[in-house]
A and B are shown apart, each in its own frame.
Chain A
Amino acid sequence: MQQHRPSPVISQGPKQSDSRGSRWLRPKKGRPAAKPGSVTGAARAGQRSRRRRLSLRAALAVISGRAAGALSRRLRLGGGTSIVGLVAQRLYPDIIRHLAAQLEHGSVLVTGTNGKTTTSGFLAAILRDAGLRVWRNREGANLLRGVAGALVVRALPSGNLRRAGQAISVFEIDEAVMPQAVRLLEPRAAVFVNLFRDQLDRYGEVESVAALWRQMVKGLPETTTLVLNADDPTTASLGELARGPVLYFGLEDLTLDLSGQDGQGTAGTYQAVDSRSCVRCGSDYRYSARFYSHMGHYQCPHCGLERPAPAVRALQVRQDTFDRLRVTVETPTQLGEIVIPLPGLYNVYNALAAIAVAQALGISWEPIVSGIEQFKPAFGRGERVQVAGRTLRLLLAKNPTGLNEVLRTLFSEGTPRHILFVLNDNIADGRDVSWIWDVDFERAQGLTASLTVAGTRAFDLALRLKYAGFAPEEMTIIPSTPLRALEELIGSQPRGRKGRERGRARHQQYQPGAGAAKTSIQASPVAEEGATSPRETATPFPGYGLATALERAIEQTPVGETLFIVPTYTGLLELHRELERRGLTPHYWEGRD
């Protein structure tokens, strides 16, 4: 199969011409020419028939995959891009390579523990503003089948991509899948945002992902630009192994140093640090500035390994409001201010990563600024939803560092917040929730105006909060499934028999789809609803299920105020379904193009 790879254009010169993104546009590629050297007629004929066979196979894969997807959507089994990819890959394992090779502007892959979705979102917005057609995989569908699906739904039954001209793909890729993805897609740029501890039961440990990455980087073609976070030691160290160009991004604003900000950097600033020892010699790093977890300006006192100087740098970060960060960004060719419309320092890194890739691809400055400033957050990444006069804001947090940063963002100003935590332990969340003990919940203590705790592991989280100094009475605990023993215990007490019946009635009321819950949220403030008044808030077992938890958390948030929802990954998906059922969010797998 022929590959036509664009060579990466690293912008080095002075400011680009003002036509948006013009410089990097390469000549339109025609039909790929035969490899020089394969000249004999027989060879050419053989190659032709092989190509025909392969495109037949691709066509078959596309047709079957899309049929499977249509069927799955019809049967309401799900969004159906993963099944599309799964079927297509089964019929033609190389379908990703086959289709991706047709993209005129190639592919960019984004990986890392936290920030894949937002980084690729920023980048897609920038590239769109530069006049390109950007194709992405659906958020969370970041295994190979998700990538295959994203390509196949844009393919014709002939096995060719529709409108491949002016097209570029930006795929977020699961950390562990990166080696295969790189081999199949031969990306123009590969972005490594960071590496934290996440879902240990799935990946083994941080170090094994790092080893996987190192192996992969050694095999990357020279045409792939590596875009690396200079402030994350493990991620940055990949640069030493690269054969192609490397572009680092990082923070230079030393006022963000944790030790400076919080006095001695001690009490209340517990940090979950996931890589602390030098990748080269094993000594512990020394930090001259630490921004969060192991992100910062580090140096190995033993072998001298130090943070590489980033080419794309944030010189100053100022917070205008909760979710307006004014960042002064310097690149080799530009110096300017960009407003990031999202909360949290981690989003500065995400934006820097996207800017670095855009620079590597030769995109001019205007689309970079407009792409970031007008960015609409993906679901669960700070997105706003209006419900019954309240604003819901969803902030996904799936690992200790992610959650620490969300808490810091929420509570650093000392403003009391209404909070709903959702802790699930499904496979996609990681089954092991012991990481919550490494999260600095102590900083939220005394700053919650209301606190609801939900999810399959609601009790674990409630217990964690108790040990962080919250009184159990401050929390409304609503697990996903009833605790039978507790219901029985309440039921067995003299007063409780009645209580038990009430409980049952309540249960029915909160069944998904049982109109009461639905209307109360959509229409009037809930307090007016007689059945769910304070009498019930006082009962020890206020119900179960995420719909109930959401309802309760909204009830406790006065009209006009904001409820911050901090869920793990599947908690976010559940919430999304719940909000969607109430007609409150856009449909999930829209945006095929």
Chain B
Amino acid sequence: MHGRNEARLTLTLGHLYPDQLNLYGDRGNILTLKRRCELRGIELRVVGLGIGDALAPDEYDLLFIGGGQDKEQAPVAQDLFETKGIGLWAAIEDDMPVLAVCGGYQLLAHYYRPAEGPDMKGLGVFDAWTVHKGPRTPRCIGDVVISWNGMTVVGFENHGGRTYLGTARPLGKVLKGHGNNAEDGTEGAVYRNAYGTYLHGSLLPKNPHFADYLIGLALQRKYGLRRLTSLSMPPGEILNGSTPAQLTPVDDPTTLLRPLDDRLEWQAHAAILERLGLYEEAAAALRRAEAA
């Protein structure tokens, strides 16, 4: 976990619009990624990318974009389209892991159509679009659980717009809560390694498996490991201060990472599941934590 700087694994996280899109505890996602990297001897550098900053795709290994107030979202949308668009597209096509939450998710789809006024143009990474149906349609607010890769992911959602997927693959299936639009049971969207979701609360602290998955993807991509082909969970290889050369290709990126003591994380995860009546899943989550 220490010393040997030259051999140390390093990842760089680009945090898009940290000053504008920071409404829903997005700091928790960054803290989680940072800490989970540090505990495994990986250095995670966080670089804020504000309005006007260019996005050079080869400088980053991981990107995060959060949600914000409507007032602050419009200049962001413009900047995303005009300044960062090309870099972001290149990064995504090159399989960089990207996590986009709430407003960030909407901005990566085709457009956001408010109840009144003109559409806000998005980047079109996800073949999806968002419509706000006016003040009479209730906001989607509350705890939410989705199933992702056979596991649960929990969070809190709070969005007025409803997102509809075209050909985009959803991140998961809604078990409890509203999801993309409260109609079709989908939540979030995936394109290559870009993940859009409405789940915050923050998302990553209570979902350590998803956090590790993103870190694993970034490591795999940066250190030349084989592209992910399946999501089975073979027994993990331990990565703790080891050099890139020692790594061998694996299928599930999270198996690159040394398991941590995540009992508290999974208890928080299970507490949400139990509130929504998912007792079986809660028990499974705690068992997984004990097994690790």
Contacts and interface: CB of A to CB of B under 8 A. Distances in A.
A434 to B, nearest CB: 3
A297 B57 CA distance: 38
> Across chains A and B, which 4 residue pairs bring their CB atoms closest together, nearest first?
A434-B25, A437-B28, A437-B25, A459-B268
Interface string B29-41: 0011001000000
Contact of B27 (A208, A437, A463, A479): A437
A408 interface: no
A462 B268 contact: yes
A31 interface: no
Contacts of B287: 489
A485 interface: yes
Contact of B264 (A277, A433, A438, A472): A472
Contact of B156 (A205, A432, A459, A462): A432
Given A485-B270, A489-B286, A433 B156 contact: yes
Contacts of A207: 69-71
Contacts of B28: 434, 437, 464, 467
Interface stretch (B187-195, B200-208, B220-228, B248-256): B200-208
Nearest to B143: A431
Nearest to A456: B275
Contacts of B267: 459, 483, 486
Contacts of A485: 270, 273-274, 279, 282-283, 285-286
B75 interface: yes
A416 interface: no
Contacts of A197: 23
Interface in B236-284: 263-265, 267-268, 270-271, 273-274, 279, 282-283
A459 B205 contact: no
Contact of B206 (A270, A277, A460, A489): A460
B195 to A, nearest CB: 18
Contact of A459 (B142, B264, B279, B290): B264
A488 B283 contact: yes
B264 A463 contact: yes
Interface string A265-298: 0000010000011000010100000000000000
Contacts of A484: 274, 279, 282-283
A472 B263 contact: yes
Contacts, number: 102
A489 B263 CA distance: 12
A205 B265 CA distance: 29
Contacts of A466: 264
Contacts of A486: 267, 270, 286
A435 interface: yes
Contact residues on B (Cβ < 8 Å of other chain), bracket: 35 or more
A436 interface: yes
A462 B268 CA distance: 8
A590 interface: no
A434 B75 CA distance: 24
A205 B70 contact: yes
B169 interface: no
B271 A459 contact: yes
A201 interface: yes
| Max chain A Cβ within 10 angstroms of own Cβ: one of B27, B139, B200 | B27
A437 B286 CA distance: 23
8 contacts: A207-B69, A459-B264, A463-B265, A467-B28, A467-B205, A472-B263, A485-B270, A485-B283
Contact of B205 (A282, A464, A479): A464
B83 interface: no
B141 A483 contact: no
A200 interface: yes
A319 B72 CA distance: 38
B10 interface: no
Given A277-B72, A434-B25, A201 B139 contact: yes
A483 B271 CA distance: 6
Given A200-B158, A463-B265, A485-B286, A433 B70 contact: no
